[in-house]
Amino acid sequence: MSALVLDGKALAAKTEAELLARVEQLKARSGGKTPILATILVGDDPASATYVKMKGNACRRVGMESLAVELPSTTSTDELLEEIARLNANPDVHGILLQHPVPAQIDERACFDAIALEKDVDGVTCLGFGRMAMGEEAYGCATPQGIMRMLESYGVAIEGKHAVVVGRSPILGKPMAMMLLQKNATVTICHSRTQGLPALIAQADILVGAVGKPEFIKAAWVKPGAVVVDAGYHPGGVGDIELAPLLDTASAYTPVPGGVGPMTINTLIMQTVESGEKSLG
């Protein structure tokens, strides 16, 4: 029996239709105002520019507005902090996205943490992470939150399952593990330097590949019937997991592309709409 496809692209499209209706209701209640996502792009990295453009397009598809802030590659930490402070103080801005990565001279963590909690719709601040990990109200990091929404939408059982997260980045691996733990999974966090990695992956009922290396996780390590979530994307259209041999042995899997990626942007937009509803509604 072939595996269930966790189709993030289809789920994102369905959610966009729902968000469009919510934005229209909000406009009617607020005299025509809509949620606004401010995007900050520092420098001229073409991949980052493409991602920012995709996020602006997603805003427009749900009837929202976006405010594109573009800064030169020579921008200093203090100059970027000043821009973030202006956006924090702007009541018309409901979400702030600082596109990663920023140029090397900038203290990225300091700039992430300068974003006001109520506008941290990408879930990148230490305060937001801490509140999320403690079960308090905060916007979750967009990629792991998108994965959790996808698992829930497709009825994937989490409680009591053994989830193995391969990757420990502050905006993916670590928050992913905390979110799964909050849904009563037993969670093992691994990474590229973990000893005996194949044996640990073989225990996974739910496997999340978030290590950032193309096909680092081999299909032979994954037990039959596992739910396979690949959060990686690399040139050639491959993820962090060797997916092709798993299409008939996994119980469910996210395709690459079309799985996790669309849900990341969709979650960012959804959380901006939620922020707008709190502020305007």
CATH number at residue 255: 3.40.50.720
Q: Read off the tokens for 16.
A: 């966009």
Mean pLDDT of 137-159: 97
**What residue has token string 């189709």?**
7
- Looking at the fold, whether 175 and 216 belong to one and the same domain comes out as yes
Does some domain include residue 171?
yes
- Looking at the fold, whether 96 and 185 belong to one and the same domain comes out as no
At residue 22 the predicted structure's pLDDT band, cuts being 50, 70 and 90, is very high
96 membership: H or E segment, kind and range: strand 95-98
The tens digit of pLDDT for each residue in 56-91 reads 999 999 999 999 999 999 999 999 999 999 999 999
- Looking at the fold, whether 153 and 245 belong to one and the same domain comes out as yes
Does some domain include residue 122?
no
- Looking at the fold, whether 154 and 97 belong to one and the same domain comes out as no
- Looking at the fold, whether 62 and 146 belong to one and the same domain comes out as no
| Domain termination site, one of 117, 134, 156 | 117
Question: CA-CA distance, 25 to 91, in Å (whole number)?
Answer: 20
| Domain termination site, one of 60, 83, 117 | 117
Chain length of the chain: 281
- DSSP one-letter string for 12-69: HHHHHHHHHHHHHHHHHHTTS---EEEEEEES--HHHHHHHHHHHHHHHHTT-EEEEE
On whether the CB atoms of residues 30 and 280 are closer than 8 A, the answer is yes
- Looking at the fold, whether 190 and 246 belong to one and the same domain comes out as yes
Does some domain include residue 203?
yes
- Looking at the fold, whether 161 and 236 belong to one and the same domain comes out as yes
- Looking at the fold, whether 161 and 251 belong to one and the same domain comes out as yes
| Domain termination site, one of 75, 102, 117 | 117
- Looking at the fold, whether 156 and 240 belong to one and the same domain comes out as yes
Does some domain include residue 23?
no
Does 224 score more than 90 pLDDT? yes
Phi, psi of 25 (to 5 degrees): -65, -40
Q: Which of 162, 164, 112 has the alpha carbon at shortest distance from 142?
A: 112
On whether the CB atoms of residues 171 and 195 are closer than 8 A, the answer is no
Mean pLDDT of 226-255: 96
CATH number at residue 110: 3.40.50.10860
pLDDT of residue 1: 62
Residue type (1 letter), 107: D
Mean per-residue pLDDT over the chain, rounded? 97
User: Structure pTM?
Assistant: 0.96
Q: Give the chain's domain count.
A: 2
Domain range for 35: 31-117
Cα 188–chain centre separation:
20
Does some domain include residue 21?
no
Question: CA-CA distance, 165 to 200, in Å (whole number)?
Answer: 10
pLDDT of residue 6: 98
- Looking at the fold, whether 105 and 146 belong to one and the same domain comes out as no
Does some domain include residue 280?
no
- Looking at the fold, whether 215 and 149 belong to one and the same domain comes out as yes
The DSSP secondary-structure symbol of 238 reads: B
pLDDT of residue 281: 73
Does 253 score more than 80 pLDDT? yes
Cα–Cα separations (whole angstroms), residue 264 to 85, 141, 204, 260: 25, 9, 23, 6
Does some domain include residue 232?
yes
225: left (phi over 0), alpha (psi -120 to 50) or beta: left
Does some domain include residue 229?
yes
Mean pLDDT of 144-166: 98
- Looking at the fold, whether 100 and 172 belong to one and the same domain comes out as no
Q: Which residues are catalytic?
A: 55, 99, 122
